Structures are given as C-alpha cells and as structure tokens.
Structure 1
Amino acid sequence: MKMLLAALLAAASCATVAQAQTGVPVQNAPTGPVYTLDQAVAAAGGSAPASEAATAAVQAAQAGRTVAGLRPNPVVQGQIENIIGSGPYRGLRSAESTVGFAVPIELGGKRGARVAVANAQLSRAEIQAAIIAADVRLQVTQLYVEAVAAERRVVTARDQARIASDALRGASVRVQAGRASPLEQQRADVARINADANVERQLRLAEAARANLARRIGRPVDGTLDDTLLDQLPGATVYGPMAPVETAGTLALAAANADFTIAEAGVRLARANRVPDLNVGPALRRLEATNDTAAVFTVSIPIPLFNNGRAAIAQATAQRTQADAQRRVTALDIEQAITDAQAQAANAATTARAASGPALAAAQEAARIARIGYREGKFGQLELLDAERTLAETRVAAIDALANYQNARAQVERLTARAPNGGNQ
C-alpha cells in the first residue's frame, strides 16, 4: 500500500512539474490594457525635470536671439555751462543750457555678428533638448526592460518553488515507505526553503523595478507591461566585416559642430567689436544772457587706446581652435562608441537566441526525459531535481540574455539618434 501511495504521489509531482513549465501569471500583477514602452517614454518626456530645463534653455536662447537683433537705445543728454563763476559768469546770468539726445550707430557689422552668435546658441540649445530627450528614452527603456524581466523572473521562481514543494512531498512519501534515506527528504526540504526565499527576493525586485519605472515617468504604471518586448530579436546573421559607422548627423557630433559654430561666430563678433561706434545727435542750447536759442550737433567716437580688441580676437580664435579640435575628438569617440555598441548588441542577440532557443529547448527536453525516467524508476530523485534546476537556471539565463540584448539595442539607438534638421550647422 505504501508503495502504491508513493507511486501516486510521485506521478502527481511530475504532472505538477510539467504544468509548471508552461508558466503562470504573476499573482497580484496589475490587470488591464497593456502599458507600452512608447507610452512610458511619452509620459517621462513630459514630466522629466531635465526635459523642462531643456525647454527653458531653448526659450532663453530664443529670447537671446531677439535681444541680439535689437539696436542700441538713444541717450538723452543735458548740461549747463558758465555758471557759478566770477565776473560776468557769477550766478546764472551767463548760463548756457543744452538739451539733446545722441543715437549710437554701430559700425563693423556688430548687430549681424551678435545675431549669428545667438542663432548658433539657439541651434545648440535645440540639439541639447534632443540629447536630453534621447537620454530620457534610453533611461525609460532600460527601466521598462528591467521591469518586464523582473516579472518573468518571478514566474520562473514560483515554478521552481512549486517544483521544490512537490519534490519534498514525494521525498517524504518515499522516506515513510522506506524506499529512501531521510537525507533525501532533508535535501528536498532545503531546496524548498531556498526556492521560497528566492520567490520573495524576486517579488521585491519586481516591485522595485516597477516603482523605479513609475518614479521615472512621474505617474503610476497602469495595466500590464508589454511582455513581448523581450522576445523581439533580429534574425540570425552570418558573421562578417562590420559595416562602416556613419556618424554624420548624430546628436553627439551635431552638438560638437554647434559648439564650433558658436566659437566661429564669436570670432566674427570680436572682430566687429574692434570697429569704434559713432554717437551722433542734435541738441538745443539756450543762452541765458540774451535769452536766445541755438542748435547744436554732436559727434563722438571712442579712441581705442587701451583696449583695441586684439586680445578679444586672440581669445575667440583660440576658442574656435579648441572647438574644432574637440569636434574631431568627438567624431573619433562616437565612431568607437557606436562600433562597440553594435558589437555588444550583436553578441547579446547571439547569446539571447542561443539561451532562449537551443539551450532552453535542450534543458526542457532533459527535464522531460528526467520526469519520464523518474516515473518509470529509471532515474533517482537527484537526477530529476538536477534536471529541473538546470531548466530553471536556463530560463533565468534566457531572461537575462533577452534583457541584455534589449538594453544593448537601446544603447545603439541612443548613439545613432539623429539631430534636429539632420544636425546641419
């Protein structure tokens, strides 16, 4: 009778184990419509402080463009001469009062040079806003992928815990029937305790991943996440020489080009500032002694004696040289970064295809054979537990590999993101 009971319990354990491999939904998981990655990115873009700062920077640059195009304000002048002197100039009897205004006339193309600098700064602010938007998308994508992967790990952990519990029940029956050593039951109990603890750990990690995603997008994550995101893999390709990296128009290079354009416009402005401006304007003079009035026309021009603008030109020229060298460095760095990221993404895709394909299929087949052999008495419990443990570890490795590929792909997309208007400066 004990032998029959042990066989029945073992068969039930194997059936439950087989059912566990199909996967079960995470308990207490949010229900409702799927909350997609694009929705999360859109929500994060509207609430991220960095995006708000970038928008304010663009608005400030637009205001700066308006300011740069304004002309200098006229100056109202007034003066009283020949007062509080001696002889005929005692008191106000010989006073001469002059009232007028002067209009600054900018020479050398200063206004156009200021506008060119402001336009370059506005373009740079727009590129920076695009960089921040790309960074936000990368961050949200990584958090979203981690949240999806964490929920899959919870499913795998619960499957493993169910397997361990069934194995413990089967071991207990075998010990009671005298067919196994008490050590087998103790091992099964240790495996069950570790599996239950792993479920708790994975649940906490899944909750933390979802909370981090909600914190980044500035709102609770409604509905379920798009679980199919992890399974989107490129087709297998034959290894060959990597395609040349095209960096033109990328955000990083566009930002470096914009910095060079600002520096180049600064050189033009420094040269324009060397040309002295004129101040011209009419005035009206009243002579107190005769109660007559007369017109006065004034012209003034500064003398570039102490500051002739050469130092400013030298400074601007050096900054332009620095910006030019920096954009060449950026071009090399971005080429290297894209090459490395593409290689990492390709390797991650290869690993993910192997882990979620042949390796997982082999582990599933090994577990199936172990379950059949255990039912028929050809394999012991240790062989069954080892096969099931290998299957669980392979499933976790497949989840990690799929998540790594999605993160690597997101990094490539970030590095190759195009600048506004193609990054033309």
Structure 2
Amino acid sequence: MYRFVAALLAVASCASIVQAQTVVSPPDSAPPFTLDRALDAAGASSPSLEAADAGVRAASAARTVAGLRPNPEVQMDVENVAGSGPYSGTQNAEITTGLALPIELGGKRSARIAVADSRSLRARLEAAIALADLRERVTQAYIAAAAAERRMEIAGQLANFADEGFRAASTRVTAGAASPIEQQRADVQRVNANVTLDRARREAAVARENLGRLIGEPVAGPLDSGWFDRVGGYGPTRPASAAGTLVLAAAEADVATASAQVRLARSQRIPNVTLSAGARRLSATGDTAAVFGVSIPFPLFNSGRAALSQAQAERQAVDAKRRVTVLDTEQAIAAAQAELANAAATARSTGGPALAAASEAARIARIGYAQGRFSQLDLLDAERTLADTRGAFVDALVAYHDAEARLAHLTTPAPDVAGATP
C-alpha cells in the first residue's frame, strides 16, 4: 500500500498542477448572485435596521423634550364661601386668579440636554452597529450557502466516481479478473455516495433558503464561486488596537451618557423656585388686590445626595466596562488575524499542491484499476484521499471567509456622528 501511494504521488508530482478549485461550475447564462447584491438586499428589508432607525428618531424626539421648559400653571382660589354666619353664601367670597411659573435652577435644563445628546449619539452608533451586525450575518449566511453548494458538487463528483467504480468492478468480475466481493464493495460505496449526495443537496437547499430569508428575497442564479475560492494575500498583521473602532465608540458613548447623568443628578440637588402672581377680588367691598408669591421646596427628606452617589457609581461601572471592552476587542482582533492567516495558508496548501496531487493520484488509480493494475482497495484509498483533500479545502475557505468577516466586523470604523444633528 505504501509503495502504491508513493508511486501515485511520484506520478502526480510530474503532472501539471491543476487549478486550485474543487469543482468547476458549469456555465450559466444568469449572472452570479454576489455577496454585494445580498448585502444590498438585506439593507433594504432588514427589521433590525428599521428598529435602529426608529431608535434614532426616538432619541431625536427625546432631545427635543429635554430642551423644553416647565409649563406655567393657571391658579384659581375661592375663599370664605359655604361657611356659617356671614360666610354662608358668596357675598363675602374672595376670588383669587393667578399664574405660577416654575423657574429651574442649577442648570437642570442644560444637564437634561446633555443626557439627551449623549443618548442620541448612542442611538446613531447603535444604528451603525446594527448595520455592521447585519453585514456579518449576511456574509456568514452567504459563506454557508456557497460552502454547502460546493460540498454538494463534491458529493456529486464522488457519486459519479462511485458509479464508474461499480461499472469497472462489474466488468472485471464478468471477465473473471476480480472476485465478486469487489463488485459488492463497489456497490456499497455507490449507495453510500448517493446517500451523501442527497444529504448534501438538502443542506445546500436549506442554506440557500436561509440566505434568502435573511436578505428578504429569493436567491436566484448561481452564487459567486470566484469570490468563495479567492484567498487574498495576507502579510504581517497590524497591531491589534481597538482605537477608532465602532465598538469602542459605543463604549465611550456610554461613558459620556453616564457622565451626563452625574451632572443631571448634581443639578437636581438645587431646588427650583416657583413664582406666582395674580389678582384677588373681595366680593364684600368689590375691591381688587394684587397677590404675589414665591414657592421654594425644602429638601428635608430627599436632598438628592443618594441619587448623585448612584449616578457616580454607575459612571465608574460603565468606565470599567469600557476598559474591559478595549481588552476583549483587541484580543478578538488578534485571534481573528491569526485565524485568517492560518486559514489562508491552509487553503493555499490544500487547494494547490495537495489537491493537485490527490486529483492526479485518484485519476491514475481509476485508470489502473480498470486495467487491472491496481486493486480496489488502492482505488478506494486514492478516492478517499481526494475527498478528504477537497473537504479540507472547502473547510479552509469557510474558515478564511468567516475570519475575514469577523475581523471586518471587529475593526469597523466608527462613523462621524458626533456632529450630526439629532
């Protein structure tokens, strides 16, 4: 067996290197359904983006509400009525009508506006995060669909090889050149290959349907196999840094919101003043007099100190979470970079020399078995090696594109939303 494999590899090394692609897709008149097209379709129909847009509009409305001043109050008092003696009727009634105007002190309005502005910024960042999350999900679904169809094509080729092997075994058994057990073994392999092909077809159909559900439209036409087979060059990795990324901008926006909450809690400790002015009519004499008043709450039970302590503790917690986010993001970026480089190297190896050698070895084994030069076990071993190499190539491509998508998601730059009007 080892001499046979060595001979096959020696012959394969002299053969021309085949292209690093497991299956050549048949020509199709329809243009390929590209990843960019899937991303555009998902962006036009995604409920997550719709929810994020609603959140931005809600934050904009909250900003308007935060800038409003307290409403004035119209007051009316009636005194000295429905009593006894001279006050049993309304002849001695005193009617007071006036207007009360609350005056906010301590910068409460500007503090509310600061909180609303920081929340509005956070809402716009949430919209950008929702878009980045959607792009990653669509990309992963596209990768799964492309890989499933590639595995279906590989299973179809293996089924064809099994059919050819069964016919060759039947011919050799009929000619008396092989034992009937070889025909039975080839028949078992053919049945198993067809079962594997059926399973691969169902998995490919489900993966394509899941992609269609995610983007909101049916996936028509072939997928972009050229994109799936493409492995870009990947040189030295850049230092893993969370600076300027979307996830760090969101964490910093949370810190800004918490700081604004501290400012608001501090302003709440200063009591507001309510000024009132009105006119009082004395029914007994028909005279009218002006009435003025000032109302100032006395912070006896609630001085606002506990609320301020709570806001300060929450700001410390959010700031600590921001530092944790930086560490986690940089670790995830470094891990994605390493996985991307490893997957690229594996894809180039399995899809290049290894796949070329396994393909040539399987071809020689099929020819040699039909001519009676190699045993059936040699043929099965060569075809199993080819199947494993093709599967490893697809797995490496999936790992490469998945790592590429995760790295793109982790390093998504923060949009310039600080100066946007809410």
Partner of 1:212: 210
1:312-351 aligned within 5 A: 312-351=307-346
Mark the runs of 5 or more structure 2 residues left unpaired by the alignment: 1-17
Could you tell me which of 114, 138, 162 is aligned with 2:160?
162
1:349-364 aligned within 5 A: 349-364=344-359
Higher mean C-alpha deviation, range 157-166 or range 89-98: 89-98
Aligned partner of residue 77 in structure 1, secondary structure: strand
* TM-score, normalised with respect to structure 2: 0.89
Partner of 1:184: 182
- 1:160–1:389 contact (8 Å) kept in structure 2: no
Shift of 1:106: 0.9
* TM-score, normalised with respect to structure 1: 0.89
1:17-416 aligned within 5 A: 23=23, 25=25, 32-235=30-233, 237=235, 242-374=237-369, 377-416=372-411
CA-to-aligned-CA distance 1:148-206 (integer Å, 9 cap, x gap): 11111111111111111111111111111111110111111111111111110110010
- 1:31–1:224 contact (8 Å) kept in structure 2: no
Judging changes above 3 Å, is the alpha-carbon distance between structure 1 residues 179 and 376 closer, same or farther for their aligned structure 2 residues? closer
Partner of 2:13: none
CA-to-aligned-CA distance 1:307-365 (integer Å, 9 cap, x gap): 11111111111111111111111111111111111111111111111111121112123
Q: Which has the higher contact order (CA 8 A, sep 6+)?
A: 2
Judging changes above 3 Å, is the alpha-carbon distance between structure 1 residues 107 and 144 closer, same or farther for their aligned structure 2 residues? same
Shift of 1:64: 0.4
Aligned partner of residue 363 in structure 1, secondary structure: helix
Alignment root-mean-square deviation, CA: 2.3
Mark the runs of 5 or more structure 1 residues left unpaired by the alignment: 1-17
User: How many pairs does the alignment contain?
Assistant: 401
Aligned partner of residue 225 in structure 1, secondary structure: coil
Distance 1:155 1:263 in 2: 55
Judging changes above 3 Å, is the alpha-carbon distance between structure 1 residues 255 and 96 closer, same or farther for their aligned structure 2 residues? same
- Tell me which amino acid in the other structure corresponds to 1:193: V
Partner of 1:10: none
- 2:125–2:417 contact (8 Å) kept in structure 1: no
Aligned partner of residue 35 in structure 1, secondary structure: coil
- 2:248–2:322 contact (8 Å) kept in structure 1: yes
- 1:98–1:284 contact (8 Å) kept in structure 2: yes
Distance 1:279 1:22 in 2: 80
- 2:121–2:417 contact (8 Å) kept in structure 1: no
Q: Runs of at least 4 residues of structure 1 off by over 6 A? A: 422-425
Shift of 1:424: 9.8
Distance 2:22 2:76 in 1: 93
CA-to-aligned-CA distance 1:341-391 (integer Å, 9 cap, x gap): 111111111111111112111212322433454466533343233223322
- Tell me which amino acid in the other structure corresponds to 2:134: V
Shift of 1:277: 1.2
Aligned partner of residue 104 in structure 1, secondary structure: strand
Distance 1:371 1:310 in 2: 85
